[in-house]
């Protein structure tokens, strides 16, 4: 007797045949759209539709406004594409690498900014203090923190000439900064030499970047905090305070000097000008008196009596108006009639 209920079959008991492959594919790739005539799309149609979507998805790409796209075909450089929507050969034939050429990038040494996306922007873990420890030219130690701002000037060199250009830039920056700081004393590094250090470090970093063909343009090197090591920081701060007090006293002395000395010089010039004016006045008056006397003497020699008479009359004209009471007596008169003093009676002074 044959057993028609065979339970060993993977498709269940009975004489059920295995399901059709098309039925399984229809369930996996079910598309609710119905074709004309009420027919459902077949598997080849669905597969072709999916392939077209994947091709379009892998062909289209967008380049941001601050970047360019470096196109590689089978790994070889092909072209540069400007910002906008572009298409490429799909399925790994063409590869587009976006490079932000118009964005200013930066690298920080000795400190880190929270939320930075660039892995080479901030120092690695436990390397921030090591980067800042430097020896100056006078064999003193200093902790130097700085920032390097740069741009990608050549995207092709940036991608193909150096394996890790951003990491290489960190090594170059650290090497140049140690060289520049090592040529100066600790006082120059901390106080008056900051600007010169920044300019020289910028020039040397740009020269090495060009030599190594990293495709980078260094925009700025800026020193941040410069401090002595922790064991001597308190003593160094005391020295700085003493120097600041010294500069303060010198500036106050210069202020008083600039306030008093110009005033004294101005008074001196004023006195000299007054003396010159008085001298010129006296000299001119003396010369005028001499000229007047010489002219009068010349007229006197011509007519002595007339000149004496005129001088006498002019003298009386200048003297008599200032005398209130006048008594004129002829030299030939023998007797003088006394007059009543009316001024005394009225209480007025004679």
Residues 216 and 136 occupy one common structural domain: yes
Domain boundary among 75, 103, 131: 103
Domain boundary among 172, 193, 228: 228
Is 260 a domain residue? no
Say how many domains are in the chain: 2
pLDDT reported for residue 50: 79
Whether the pLDDT of residue 22 is over 70: the answer is: no
Helices and strands counted in the chain (H then E): 10, 9
Residues 131 and 194 occupy one common structural domain: yes
Is 335 a domain residue? no
179/32: higher pLDDT = 179
pLDDT tens digits, one per residue of 61-97: 899 999 999 999 998 999 999 999 988 888 888 899 9
Is 310 a domain residue? no
129 within 8 A of 142, measured Cβ to Cβ: no
pLDDT category, 9, cuts 50, 70, 90? very low
Domain boundary among 103, 127, 153: 103
pLDDT tens digits, one per residue of 107-148: 999 888 888 788 888 888 777 788 899 999 988 889 999 999
Residues 99 and 165 occupy one common structural domain: no
Residues 132 and 152 occupy one common structural domain: yes
The span from the CA of 55 to the CA of 67, in Å, is 24
Q: Return the CATH number at 220.
A: 3.30.479.30
Q: Please name which of 210, 208, 166, 201 lies closest in space to residue 183, comparing C-alpha atoms.
A: 201
pLDDT reported for residue 18: 56
DSSP 91: T
16/125: higher pLDDT = 125
pLDDT tens digits, one per residue of 197-237: 999 999 999 999 999 999 999 999 999 988 888 787 788 77
109 within 8 A of 145, measured Cβ to Cβ: yes
Residues 38 and 112 occupy one common structural domain: no
Count of all residues that appear for the chain in the document: 350
- 39 pairs with which residues across the strands? 35
Is 289 a domain residue? no
267/44: higher pLDDT = 267
At a CB cut-off of 8 Å and minimum separation 6, what does 142 contact? 134, 135, 136, 181, 186, 189, 190, 226, 227, 228, 229
162/49: higher pLDDT = 162
Coil, helix or strand at residue 250:
helix
Residues 131 and 202 occupy one common structural domain: yes
Highest mean pLDDT among 15-19, 56-60, 335-339: 56-60
Is 326 a domain residue? no
The span from the CA of 128 to the CA of 201, in Å, is 19
pLDDT reported for residue 10: 43
pLDDT tens digits, one per residue of 143-169: 999 999 999 999 999 999 998 999 999
Give the pTM.
Answer: 0.57
For residue 216, the surrounding DSSP H or E stretch is strand 216-227
Q: What is the mean pLDDT of residues 12-34?
A: 53
Residues 72 and 149 occupy one common structural domain: no
Residues 35 and 117 occupy one common structural domain: no
Whether the pLDDT of residue 332 is over 80: the answer is: no
Residues 217 and 131 occupy one common structural domain: yes
At a CB cut-off of 8 Å and minimum separation 6, what does 169 contact? 107, 120, 148, 150, 205, 209, 214, 216
Which domain does 47 fall in, by range? Answer: 19-103
156 within 8 A of 111, measured Cβ to Cβ: no
In degrees and rounded to multiples of 5, residue 232 shows phi and psi of -110, 10
322/258: higher pLDDT = 258
Question: Considering Cα of 343, then 344, then 349, then 350, what sign does the dihedral take?
Answer: positive
Long-range contacts of 344-349 (CB under 8 A, 24+ apart): none
- 141 pairs with which residues across the strands? 135
Residue 13 CA from chain centroid, whole number: 87
String of DSSP letters for 139-168: S-EEEEEEEEEEEES-HHHHHHTSSSHHHH
- 62 pairs with which residues across the strands? 85
Is 191 a domain residue? yes
Dihedral, 227, 232, 237, 239 alpha carbons, nearest 10: -120
């Amino acid at each position: 007797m044959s057993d028609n209920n065979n339970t060993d079959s993977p498709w269940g008991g009975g004489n059920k045949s295995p399901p059709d492959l098309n039925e399984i594919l229809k369930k996996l790739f079910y598309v609710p759209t119905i074709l004309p005539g009420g027919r459902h799309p077949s598997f080849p149609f669905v597969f072709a539709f999916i392939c077209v979507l994947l091709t379009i998805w892998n062909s289209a790409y967008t380049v941001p406004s601050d970047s360019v796209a470096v196109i590689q075909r089978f790994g070889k450089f092909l072209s540069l594409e400007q910002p906008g929507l572009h298409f490429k050969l799909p399925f790994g034939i063409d590869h587009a690498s976006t490079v932000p050429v118009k964005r200013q990038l930066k690298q920080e040494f000795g400190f880190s900014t929270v939320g930075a996306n660039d892995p080479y922007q901030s120092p690695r873990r436990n390397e921030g203090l090591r980067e800042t420890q430097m020896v100056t030219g006078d064999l003193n130690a200093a902790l130097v923190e700085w920032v390097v701002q740069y741009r990608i000037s050549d995207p092709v060199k940036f991608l193909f000439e150096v394996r890790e250009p951003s990491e290489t830039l960190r090594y170059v920056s650290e090497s140049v900064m140690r060289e520049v700081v090592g040529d100066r004393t600790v006082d120059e590094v901390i106080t008056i030499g900051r600007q010169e250090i920044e300019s020289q470090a910028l020039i040397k970093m740009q020269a090495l970047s060009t030599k190594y063909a990293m495709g980078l343009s260094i925009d700025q090197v800026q020193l941040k905090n410069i401090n002595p090591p922790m064991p001597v920081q308190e003593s160094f701060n005391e020295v700085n305070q003493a120097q600041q007090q010294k500069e303060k006293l010198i500036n106050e002395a210069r202020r008083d000097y600039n306030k008093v000395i110009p005033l004294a010089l101005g008074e001196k010039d004023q006195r000299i000008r007054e003396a010159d004016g008085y001298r010129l006045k006296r000299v001119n008056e003396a010369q005028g008196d001499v000229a007047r006397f010489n002219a009068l003497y010349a007229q006197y020699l011509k007519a002595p009596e007339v000149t004496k008479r005129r001088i006498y009359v002019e003298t009386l004209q200048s003297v008599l108006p200032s005398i209130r009471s006048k008594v004129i007596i002829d030299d030939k008169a023998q007797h003088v009639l006394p007059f009543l003093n009316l001024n005394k009676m009225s209480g007025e002074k004679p």
